Amino acid sequence: MQLSVWTYEGPPHIGAMRVATGMTDVHYLLHAPQGDTYADLLFTMIERRGKRPPVTYTTFQARDLGKDTAELFQSAARDAVARFNPAALLVGASCTAELIQDDPAGMAQAMRLDIPVIPLELPSYSRKENWGASETFYQIVRTLAVGDSSRPVPCQAGSPRPKANLLGPSALGFRHRDDIVEIAKILAALGIEINVTAPMGASAADIARIGEADFNIVLYPEIADTAARWLERNFQQPFTKTIPIGHNATIDFIREVATLAKVDPAPALNIAEARMPWWSRSVDSTYLTGKRVFIFGDATHAIAAARVARDELGFVVCGLGCYNREFARDLRAAAAEHGVEPLITDDHLEVEDAIAAAHPELVLGTQMERHIAKRLSIPCAVISAPVHVQDFPARHSPQMGFEGANVLFDSWVHPLVMGLEEHLLTMFRDDFEFHDGAGASHLSHGSKTAHAPASPAAEPVAEPEMAVGLDPIAPDSAAQGSDVLELVRWTAEAETELKKIPFFVRGKARRNTERYAEERGLASISLDTLYDAKAHYAR
Amino acid sequence: MIAAAPLPATQGCASAPVLRERGQREVFCGLTGIVWLHRKMPDAFFLVVGSRTCAHLLQSAAGVMIFAEPRFATAIIEERDLAGLADANEELDRVVRRLLARRPEIRTLFLVGSCPSEVIKLDLSRAAQRLAGAFLPDVRIVNYSGSGIETTFTQGEDACLASLVPFMPPQPAQADQQLLIVGALPDIVEDQLLRLVRELGITNVGCLPARESRDLPPVGPNTRFLLAQPFLGDTAQALEDRGAVHLPAPFPFGAEGTTDWLHAAARAFGIDEMHFRATVAPGRERAKRALEHSRAQLEGKSIFFLPDSQLELPLARFLHTELGMVPIEIGTPYLHRQHMALELAQLPSSTVISEGQDVDRQLDRVRASKPDITVCGLGLANPLEAEGFTTKWAIELVFSPIHGFDQAGDLAELFARPIRRRDVLRV
């Protein structure tokens, strides 16, 4: 058993729902107890869909268990098919139904419905949401692309205008809606036709003709990798490996696509909207140089973000991790390239400890890292699912392509104290608007004392006491951190000096100094210790 | 004028047939009760023994609250736990020991059963007994089930409170008659109601749940209890099994509902009628004034309740009798005839009362009857809005303070706001 408060991924049937909800005419019959319909509100509330997900739950109850649940299942299947008239029916079990060992696939097939029935085997006690989405998409492609006898197999490549499929976008995907728009723009510039985008927006008939494309563009390997590999084997469709997140990756992506399509990449490379490189070179961005950034998310977004952070913003990657083990190998390789320890875990307490230990100046992560960073008073931007409702914005907000790179620049730099503001905070730290307690304008808690007159003894509001006050079920390292605070005493003089250090780096200075003092067995921290430590840790 | 005037028999639907349906239910399971119960009992921890789905549900239902040092968690059953039961018990013990070692302030640990733990027949009551040996007297370990196969949404609270009844100390035989208020209420509401009850002259009052999970009130034949919530059938039964006597009353929503609810206690405790009227008059008048703000928006409007919390019948009664709304269909996940008798009697006989759900068929009835407002869960609210229906999402009614005189206006506003918003928007 795993003790868990927060999970990065839902169970695998949520992944199946993401695929089914993304498509237009498939229906998912889920053998599940009362209550599992909670998942509907992820789609209707977080993604703000105006339609119920195409899922029928059999809703078995305790009193049904002793009896034959087959009838319940089959009548639900009959009703769903009659009411929703789908082109294909997905059938599967949620975690509880997996235990009662009904056979949804067998029961549905025994009904001899006149539409394709796609059974899903999603092991709920060993796999998770992304795996469920990937497996579901793969089974749909496998069943429907093979099942259509009118389609020529294998497809004839080299049609007059090259055709590609866009694979991976799904319901509840982080910025999938807008990424599709950006990629479509690039393909239009290259003169490449989009054959099918799937699962998002695809019908069963679209999947049936997926083999007509010359190659596949895999936008989200977490969802599309398995299907793309199957299509490569069975339809001789090569697929792209570059994820077009970031300016440079977008250029690489365009070249890769152009090579696969045998077209000239130039028309797509000269896009005027690529403002990110100039923004990053402009002098106001100088202060971004060497900012330490901790990155965590799904492997695809985390690896792409690390490249952007280092090469395009001049940050230093001080931590890199992902929660999905399926892509752990890719993440390990990326971590090695950045010279950091890979962090592969789905335990948010481990991530919290790693962030606290790395002392980053910026965290790029999921909704969870946003909360960790808030607790530690570190600026943060969201780069990956899981995300909350505010990260399904009304405005166009892609991560991919050149416009995506613009969005990344804005959304990552915005939470940081901008160069000028940082400078002012240091220079005028005793000024009433810039004193310790005032904080930075981008942090909401900064306004608490903004109108109070400066007082040299004012207790700073934003002291990032990282290791204390955390969730008591946090591992032991947190407790050790607070022990240190009691072991090493600060002289009054050093304490006063510490308060002159801007609040957003003070926590790090305090910790570094204490660690330095402890390692040298110093009983107290004097002014000299403070500056010795500063020199020791200077980078 | 204050006592509930008996309504003409033709108006009530106490004996009306109930539409019973089964099919897909768009409801939460009882685990969701943890989200508000843990706020009410700050020294208790709720450990769900379930699957990743259970953890995901709690996370989705708790929203951002999950990060504010929650006192609930899930022990997620993994493949190796399914291999053999002995193993699962050892694993559970390990998780509980780890948890309690890190949370020494916890006084009561609830082991909460889920669908997976019930289906594999993991005996959590035995686990609670086993672990009690190791942790008593510091930590009391209690077990109940919040599984979807057995409980719907607020029934999780019923199961939780019923599990506490055996731990209530016996009331001494010579003790004064005690009033027990049953059902988790927001602290501010509980304080208001306790103040009123004491002003009436009832001084021996207890609450279940108590704010300190170990400070449970006594129970015995001299206990009279009022249900503050309509979903407490098992808890009421457990209290009755220990000799306590239920005071039938409408639920304390609105000026009249709260008056009638208090009146039931006043009568049982022999409070002078004039004193009762004088005591409740200020709150009652205030509530009536507060309701006037929403009356213009709500009067004559039709309302359709989909089943969710068992609050549907009392709320429909409040909206009908005090604001002039017209209920079309009132769905409830479970109908406790006896506890609802006084509510049913006040509803117009044209109302359809339905128990259980076949969600697609019920939505067909919503579409056919075109209600002015539909009360439903978040999985249905936006899709119905997209079809042009005005909705009120039901979960807010469980999380917001809505009982008693001083919340009557807020309660009406919860229904008036979506209608007002529909009228002001020009997009």
Between B60, B116, B119, which is nearest A38 by CB? B60
Assess contact for B116 and A99: CB atoms under 8 A.
yes
Which of B79, B82, B116 shows the shortest C-beta gap to A96?
B116
Q: Check if A148 is active-site.
A: no
Residues of B with Cβ-Cβ distance to A469 under 8 angstroms: none
A396 token code pair:
């166009």
Restricting to A residues 127-156, those with a Cβ less than 8 Å away from any Cβ of B are 128
Q: Which of A69, A81, A73 lies closest to A30, judged by CA?
A: A73
Tally the C-alpha atoms within 13 A of residue A149's C-alpha that lie toward its C-beta.
0
Six-digit token string for A149:
């006898």
- Averaged pLDDT of chain A: 86
> What one-character DSSP code corresponds to residue A33?
B
Question: Which residues on chain A are in Cβ contact (under 8 Å) with B384?
Answer: none
**Distance to chain A for B409, nearest Cα, Å:** 27
AA identity, residue B234 = D
Residues of chain B contacting A128 with CB distance shorter than 8 Å? 52
* pLDDT for B222 beyond 50: yes
Q: Do B56 and A14 touch (CB under 8 A)?
A: yes
Q: Rounded to a whole number, what is the distance in Å from the CA of A480 to chain B's nearest CA?
A: 14
In this model, does residue B57 exceed pLDDT 50? yes
Beta carbons of B116 and A99 less than 8 Å apart = yes
Which residues of A fall within a CB distance of 8 Å from B81?
1, 125
Lowest mean pLDDT among A8-17, A56-65, A420-429: A420-429
CA distances from B115 to A278, B74, B149, B307 (A): 56, 13, 6, 21
Query: Is A476's Cβ below 8 Å from some Cβ in B?
Result: no
Q: State the smallest CA–CA distance between residue A441 and chain B in angstroms.
A: 23
| Chain A residues touching B29 at Cβ < 8 A | 33-36, 38
Residues of chain B with Cβ-Cβ distance to A11 below 8 Å are: 51-53, 56
- The answer to whether residues A418 and A402 touch, using CB atoms and an 8 Å cutoff, is no
- The per-residue pLDDT for A424 is 62
Give B32's contacts in chain A (Cβ within 8 Å).
38
Is residue A74 less than 8 Å (CB to CB) from chain B? no
- For A431-446, the pLDDT digits (tens) are 555 555 555 555 544 4
Cα distance from A73 to chain B (closest Cα, Å)? 10
Best to test chain A binding among B21, B49, B51, B52 (most A CBs inside 10 Å) = B52
* A477 has pLDDT over 50: no
CA distance B154 to chain A (A): 12
Residue B147 above 70 pLDDT? yes
**Chain-chain contact of A45 with B98 (C-beta, under 8 angstroms):** no
| Closest chain B residue to the Cα of A58, Cα to Cα | B24
Short-list B425, B403, B424, B423, CA closest to B192: B403
Size of interface A-B (CB pairs under 8 A): 186
How close does chain A come to B124, measured CA to CA in Å?
Answer: 14
Q: Is the peptide bond before A53 cis (omega within 30 degrees of 0)?
A: no
CB-CB under 8 Å, A76 with B23: yes
The predicted pLDDT at position B342 comes to: 96
| Token output for B339 | 């506890």
Q: What is the DSSP letter of A272?
A: T
Q: Would you call A2 and B75 a contact, using CB atoms and an 8 Å cutoff?
A: yes
- Interface confidence (ipTM) of the complex: 0.92
Tokens of B162: 């019923």
CA distance A210 to A167: 10
Higher per-residue pLDDT: A528 or A504: A528
Asked whether the beta carbons of residue A100 and residue B120 sit closer than 8 angstroms, the reply is no
- Residues of chain A numbered 238-257 and touching chain B (CB < 8 Å): none
Q: Do A83 and B360 touch (CB under 8 A)?
A: yes
User: Which one is predicted more confidently, B33 or A375?
Assistant: B33
- Residues of A within 8 A of B386 (CB-CB) are 50-51
Residue in the block written with tokens 């005591």: B279
Measured distance CA(A223)–CA(A326) in Å, rounded: 11
A122 near B CB under 8 A: no
- The answer to whether A78 contacts chain B (CB < 8 Å) is no
Question: Six-digit token pair at A326?
Answer: 């399926």
Residue environment code for A146-156, b if the CB has 16+ CB neighbours within 10 A, otherwise e: eebeebeeebe
**B143, B258, B235, B254: which is closest to B180 by C-alpha?**
B235
Query: Is A38–B57 a contact, with Cβ atoms under 8 angstroms apart?
Result: yes
3-class DSSP assignment, residue A511: helix
Check B147 against A33: CB less than 8 A apart.
yes
Chain B positions touching A125 (Cβ under 8 A) are: 51-52, 77-79, 81-82
The verdict on a CB contact (< 8 Å) between A1 and B75 is yes
Test B118 with A62 for CB contact under 8 angstroms. yes
The pLDDT-based confidence of A496 (bands split at 50, 70, 90) is confident
Flag if A56 and B24 touch (Cβ within 8 Å).
Answer: yes
Q: Which of A329-333, A376-380, A434-438, A488-492 has the lowest mean pLDDT?
A: A434-438
Least confident of A173-177, A398-402, A533-537, B399-403: A533-537
Model confidence at B10, pLDDT cuts 50, 70, 90, reads very low
What average pLDDT does range B115-125 have in this prediction?
A: 94
**Distance in angstroms (rounded) separating the CA atoms of residues B241 and B262:** 24
Distance between B150 CA and the closest CA of chain A, angstroms = 6
B277 pLDDT exceeds 60? yes
Q: Is A83 on the interface with B (CB under 8 A)?
A: yes
Query: Would you say residue A25 has pLDDT above 50?
Result: yes
Greater pLDDT, B297 or A158: B297
Which residues, in sequence order, are CB contacts of A181 under 8 Å at separation 6+? A396, A398
Q: Which of A264, A284, A471, A483 is catalytic?
A: A284
Judged by a CB distance cut-off of 8 A, whether residue A124 touches chain B is yes
Nearest chain A residue to B379, by CA = A41
Q: How many other CB atoms sit within 10 Å of the CB of residue B6?
A: 9
Which of A385, A295, A378 shows the shortest CA–CA distance to A335? A295
CB of A15 within 8 Å of any CB in chain B?
Answer: no
What would the two tokens of residue B307 be?
């089943």
Check whether B8 has a pLDDT greater than 70.
no
Mean pLDDT of chain B: 93
- Nearest to B347, CA basis, from B313, B311, B312, B398: B313
The reported pLDDT for the residue numbered A340 is 97
Give B76 to chain A, closest Cα distance, Å: 5
Could B55 and A40 be called an inter-chain contact, meaning their C-beta atoms sit closer than 8 Å?
no
Kindly state the average pLDDT of the residues A489-508.
82
What are phi and psi for residue B318, nearest 5 degrees?
-60, -50
With CB atoms and an 8 Å threshold, state whether B52 touches A36: no
Return the percentage of chain B with pLDDT > 70, whole number: 96
- B104 → chain A, closest CA residue: A472
pLDDT per position as a tens digit, A238-263:
999 999 999 999 999 999 999 999 99
Q: Tell me how far apart the terminal alpha carbons of chain B are, to the nearest angstrom.
A: 47
Regarding pTM above 0.90, the answer is no
How far, in Å, CA of B158 to CA of B209, rounded? 11
Q: Does residue A423 carry a pLDDT above 80? A: no
**Other C-beta atoms lying within 10 Å of the C-beta of residue A528:** 11
